[in-house]
């Protein structure tokens, strides 16, 4: 089945990026359709319903900026909104801007093929439908393809198995149950305190300890709302110029320029402010190991203060990466949860996981009986959502094969050999190292202007030159190599997926620098891109 039309734009995914792409396409006078695998809009915020799920960027920043009235109308109730509130916001946006009629829910895209003679993409869905469009825009998310851990016996577990990234709705009762959690990234760290409240016992299986800073979440008062509204234009302006897409200002000196007392005071202030920006207390924290060490030792002291059992505290302290080089976490009571007698930590580095059995988890040290297994085991990040789709370019090239050695993109927007295909928050863009909502707005606006420019020039196909993409991809890697990020075995470089090629995927230079480069290329006549007419 097909709707028989060749749309101007086909958007895959109806999360933050996809919904904005639909809205902006319509505003640009383009005919758009959006296909979404979930049965509701929201993308990551539709699927990640695990207990404790919240954004770790302040909600007033992690929200659309394209409509001032929307920005002023939506009263974020907390500093860091919960998943239900963010989902309600996205549903509101879909209704308010009339986006739903353009979105087909429950429609998973399995394949996409470019017809060179028609200069159009045809996508095939899991149900066998076909949809065509001149331009294909993947807003499939950077963290949306769940990683199923390769643990022997995992499929034979006879109890309930849940993935944080696909948490069931309604929430399953865990009362009276023995729950095990595998994974201590953001999802595990956010969910542990709430799982501990509900379960009869909770065993946390930790392979790599992670840094986490108390979120210090709080309700936003009417006075907060009024202040935020008054500050919004300036707040957004600063966010767009910044690295991380929020109006953060680091301490005005590098760590080495401070006296020990001054450094300690700055770190204490950063810690008391709460949240992930502790990772950016000093301006050189991601480039200078000594600066990072100051913050790392400070965070370690905090963990020792929060956790009563000295061995558990030592096990919870990361040993293998500088602070923040694996995505730093933010929590509400994570370390304190281990002070409860029914919560246990298993350090898999000392006591490795051998297998999952039908009734629990076996480590070298013994058997841990479980009724429920929670996998907070992350994602095939950045590329997984794209390479799981059979995407074929005009000369038969398959995206998964083209990226066999790692993703190559120009500006994180396009891939050579795949004309009229765009990615939002994909590899090579600031994406996960920035505020994904503002980066999505910036990229979608850029893409749509490019599409309209191509139309105005009568060009039917747009794609980057090989050399431009290779140069950009090398630049993304070099930018990362100038920081401490590559010192961690992180999902930023694909290290969490066995066999995945190592390439640092997000662009560390940040939103402000990235936007400036995109604008420079646009104003220079789209240097590095090929615009052709068939
Ligand atoms: O996933 P992760 P996540 N045996 O990859 C472990 C965003 N996010 O879903 O580190 C045992 O960070 C793995 O161990 P190791 C945010 O950007 C944001 O938690 O590979 N353990 C690790 O501990 C975040 O960074 C928010 O050694 C295994 C964990 O599973 C990103 O999403 C909330 C294993 C996976 O951690 C991903 O976070 C949630 C195995 N076989 C997520 N396989 C907020 O906005 C994997 N692990 C707050």
Per-residue pLDDT reduced to its tens digit, 228-263: 999 999 999 999 999 999 888 899 999 999 999 999
CA distance 421 to 415: 7
Q: Give residue 40's domain range.
A: 2-145+380-459
Pocket of ligand 1 (CB under 6 A): 54-56, 143, 149, 151, 182-188, 190, 207-208, 327, 348, 353, 376-379, 432, 491, 496
Domain count, the chain: 1
Q: Please answer whether residues 335 and 305 qualify as being in contact, where contact means their C-beta atoms are separated by less than 8 angstroms.
A: no
Give the end-to-end CA distance of the chain in Å, rounded to a whole number. Answer: 27
Closest CA to 318 of 185, 204, 485: 185
Note the pTM of the prediction, 2 decimals: 0.97
Nearest CA, atom 9, ligand 1: 378
Rounded distance from Cα 136 to ligand 1 centre (Å): 30
Rounded distance from Cα 25 to ligand 1 centre (Å): 34
Rounded distance from Cα 491 to ligand 1 centre (Å): 8
Rounded distance from Cα 120 to ligand 1 centre (Å): 37
**DSSP character for 219?**
B
Rounded distance from Cα 333 to ligand 1 centre (Å): 18
CA distance 311 to 284: 32
Per-residue pLDDT reduced to its tens digit, 68-105: 999 999 999 999 999 999 999 999 999 999 999 999 99
Pocket test for ligand 1, best of 49, 53, 165, 185 (most atoms within 8 A of CB): 185
Nearest CA, atom 24, ligand 1: 186
The answer to whether residue 444 is domain-embedded is yes
The answer to whether residue 182 is domain-embedded is no
CA distance 57 to 61: 7
The answer to whether residue 315 is domain-embedded is no
pLDDT value, residue 395: 85
Nearest CA, atom 45, ligand 1: 55
Rounded distance from Cα 488 to ligand 1 centre (Å): 13
The answer to whether residue 470 is domain-embedded is no
Q: Please answer whether residues 411 and 429 qualify as being in contact, where contact means their C-beta atoms are separated by less than 8 angstroms.
A: yes
pLDDT value, residue 2: 67
Nearest CA, atom 15, ligand 1: 208
Nearest atom in ligand 1 to the alpha carbon of residue 210 is 23
Q: Please answer whether residues 147 and 496 qualify as being in contact, where contact means their C-beta atoms are separated by less than 8 angstroms.
A: yes
Burial of 80 (0-12, 13-18, 19+ CB in 10 A): buried
The answer to whether residue 524 is domain-embedded is no
Nearest CA, atom 5, ligand 1: 378
Nearest CA, atom 37, ligand 1: 378
Nearest atom in ligand 1 to the alpha carbon of residue 187 is 19
Q: Please answer whether residues 291 and 484 qualify as being in contact, where contact means their C-beta atoms are separated by less than 8 angstroms.
A: no
pLDDT value, residue 4: 79
Rounded distance from Cα 375 to ligand 1 centre (Å): 9
The answer to whether residue 223 is domain-embedded is no
pLDDT tens over the chain, length 534 residues = 567 799 999 999 999 999 999 999 999 999 999 999 999 999 999 999 999 999 999 999 999 999 999 999 999 999 999 999 999 999 999 999 999 999 999 999 999 999 999 999 999 999 999 999 999 999 999 999 999 999 999 999 999 999 999 999 999 999 999 999 999 999 999 999 999 999 999 999 999 999 999 999 999 999 999 999 999 999 999 999 999 998 888 999 999 999 999 999 999 999 999 999 999 999 999 999 999 999 999 999 999 999 999 999 999 999 999 999 999 999 999 999 999 999 999 999 999 999 999 999 999 999 999 999 999 999 999 999 999 999 999 988 999 999 999 999 999 999 999 999 999 999 999 999 999 999 999 999 999 999 999 999 999 999 999 999 999 999 999 999 999 999 999 999 999 999 999 999 999 999 999 999 999 999 999 999 999 998
Q: Please answer whether residues 47 and 26 qualify as being in contact, where contact means their C-beta atoms are separated by less than 8 angstroms.
A: no
CA distance 72 to 228: 9
Rounded distance from Cα 16 to ligand 1 centre (Å): 21
Handedness of CA 109, 114, 120, 122 (dihedral sign): negative
Q: Please answer whether residues 163 and 39 qualify as being in contact, where contact means their C-beta atoms are separated by less than 8 angstroms.
A: no
Nearest CA, atom 22, ligand 1: 183
The answer to whether residue 27 is domain-embedded is yes
Burial of 176 (0-12, 13-18, 19+ CB in 10 A): exposed
pLDDT value, residue 282: 97
**Pairing mode of beta strands 360-363, 353-357:** antiparallel
Cα–Cα distances (Å) from 378 to 166, 321, 373, in that order, read: 11, 18, 15
Pocket test for ligand 1, best of 43, 186, 211 (most atoms within 8 A of CB): 186
Rounded distance from Cα 440 to ligand 1 centre (Å): 23
pLDDT value, residue 382: 98
The answer to whether residue 486 is domain-embedded is no
Rounded distance from Cα 294 to ligand 1 centre (Å): 25
CATH number of the domain encompassing residue 93: 3.50.50.60
């Amino acid at each position: 089945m097909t709707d028989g039309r060749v749309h101007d734009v086909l958007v895959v995914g109806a999360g933050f990026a996809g919904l904005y792409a639909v809205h902006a396409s319509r505003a640009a006078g383009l005919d758009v359709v959006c296909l979404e695998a979930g049965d509701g809009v929201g993308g990551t915020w539709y699927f990640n319903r695990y207990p404790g799920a919240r954004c770790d960027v302040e909600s007033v920043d992690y929200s659309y900026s394209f409509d001032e009235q929307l920005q002023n109308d939506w009263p974020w109730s907390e500093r860091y909104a919960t998943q239900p509130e963010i989902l309600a916001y996205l549903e509101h946006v879909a209704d308010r801007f009339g986006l739903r009629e353009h979105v087909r829910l429950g429609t998973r895209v399995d394949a996409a093929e470019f017809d060179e003679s028609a200069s159009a993409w045809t996508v095939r869905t899991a149900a066998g439908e076909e949809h065509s469009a001149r331009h294909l825009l993947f807003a499939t998310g950077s963290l949306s393809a769940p990683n199923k851990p390769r643990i022997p016996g995992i499929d034979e577990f006879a109890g309930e198995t849940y993935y944080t990234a696909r948490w069931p709705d309604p929430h399953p009762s865990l009362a009276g149950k023995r729950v095990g959690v595998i994974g201590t990234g953001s999802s595990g760290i956010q969910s542990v305190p709430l799982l501990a409240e509900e379960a009869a016992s909770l065993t946390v299986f930790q392979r790599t300890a992670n840094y986490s800073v108390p979120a210090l979440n709080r309700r936003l008062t009417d006075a907060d709302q009024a202040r935020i509204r008054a500050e919004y234009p300036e707040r957004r302006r600063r966010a767009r110029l910044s690295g991380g897409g929020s109006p953060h200002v680091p301490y005005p000196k590098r760590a080495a320029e401070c006296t020990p007392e001054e450094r300690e005071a700055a770190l204490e202030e950063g810690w008391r402010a709460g949240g992930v920006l502790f990772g950016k207390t000093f301006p050189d924290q991601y480039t200078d190991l000594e600066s990072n060490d100051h913050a790392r030792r400070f965070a370690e002291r905090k963990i020792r203060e929060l956790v009563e059992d000295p061995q558990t505290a030592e096990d919870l302290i990361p040993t293998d990466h500088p602070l923040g080089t694996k995505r730093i976490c933010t929590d509400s009571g994570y370390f304190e949860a281990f002070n409860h007698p029914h919560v246990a930590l298993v350090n898999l580095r000392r006591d490795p996981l051998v297998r999952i059995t039908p009734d629990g988890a076996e480590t070298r040290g013994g058997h841990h009986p479980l009724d429920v297994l929670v996998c907070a085991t992350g994602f095939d990040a950045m590329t997984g959502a794209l390479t799981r789709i059979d995407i074929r370019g005009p000369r038969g090239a398959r995206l998964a094969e083209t990226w066999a050695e790692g993703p190559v993109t120009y500006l994180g927007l396009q891939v050579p050999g795949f004309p009229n295909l765009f990615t939002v928050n994909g590899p090579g863009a600031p994406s996960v190292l920035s505020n994904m909502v503002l980066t999505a707005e910036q990229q979608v606006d850029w893409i749509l202007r490019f599409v309209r420019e191509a139309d105005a020039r009568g060009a039917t196909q747009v794609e980057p030159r090989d050399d431009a993409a290779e140069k950009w991809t090398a630049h993304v890697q070099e930018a990362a190599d100038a920081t401490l990020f590559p010192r961690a075995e992180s999902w930023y470089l694909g290290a969490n997926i066995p066999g995945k090629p190592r390439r640092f995927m997000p662009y560390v230079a940040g939103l402000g620098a990235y936007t400036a480069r995109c604008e420079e290329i646009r104003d220079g006549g789209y240097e590095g891109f090929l615009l052709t007419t068939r």
